[in-house]
């Protein structure tokens, strides 16, 4: 498997996780600002995760799942 393929797959995975975070956040009617405040992280961090630019840590995924009342596995749907 080439490195380029792996890089593209990584981007797609991060993008899908980010979209799942965004949809879960929106279902709870949280703005990025409110969600960031609850999680004690920056709004730009939320934005970058939702765009698939960065990946959340396992601990942050856990915190988000508790705040949004979803399973951690739901962030990995459609991968």
**pLDDT: which is higher, 4 or 20:** 20
Helices (H) and strands (E) counted in the chain, each on its own, are 4, 0
Read off the pTM: 0.86
DSSP 76: G
pLDDT in tens, 29-78: 999 999 999 999 999 999 999 999 999 999 999 999 999 999 999 999 88
List the domains of the chain with CATH numbers: 3-70 (1.10.260.40)
Closest to 73 in 3D by CA, of 1, 5, 21: 21
């Amino acid at each position: 498997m080439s490195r380029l393929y792996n890089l593209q797959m990584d981007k797609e995975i991060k993008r899908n996780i980010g979209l799942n975070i965004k949809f879960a956040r929106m279902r709870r009617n949280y703005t990025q600002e409110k969600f960031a405040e609850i999680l004690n992280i920056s709004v730009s961090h939320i934005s970058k995760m939702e765009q698939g630019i960065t990946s959340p840590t396992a601990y942050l995924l856990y915190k988000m799942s508790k705040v949004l009342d979803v399973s951690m596995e739901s962030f990995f749907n459609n991968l």
